[in-house]
């Protein structure tokens, strides 16, 4: 991934996978493990100058699906 467009496309695929991950892992710990593995693979390939933006997008995905672990239960 060299450009922000590449990163966004890959993160879009991650976003599209969230419903499947939630079905396959109805318990939150299983979901977080699967999501973290996928997100870590993506973030590991993001150029340094785009890393913070990519992390913000990953966080937004979790918030959009209301599965963010923000300590507010």
Domain ranges in the chain are 4-64
pLDDT of 40 > 70? The answer is yes
pLDDT of 72 > 60? The answer is no
Whether the CB-CB separation of 51 and 43 falls below 8 Å is answered with yes
- Rounded Cα distance between 54 and 10, Å, is 10
> What predicted TM-score, i.e. pTM, was given to this entire model?
0.87
Arithmetic mean of pLDDT over the chain = 93
Output the pLDDT for position 73: 45
For residues 29-54, average pLDDT: 97
């Amino acid at each position: 991934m060299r450009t922000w467009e590449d990163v966004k496309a890959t993160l879009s695929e991650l976003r599209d996978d969230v419903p499947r991950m939630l079905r396959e892992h109805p318990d939150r710990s299983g979901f977080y493990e699967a999501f973290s593995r996928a997100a870590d693979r993506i973030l590991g390939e993001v150029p340094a100058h785009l890393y913070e933006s990519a992390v913000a997008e990953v966080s937004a995905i979790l918030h959009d699906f209301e599965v963010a672990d923000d300590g507010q239960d």
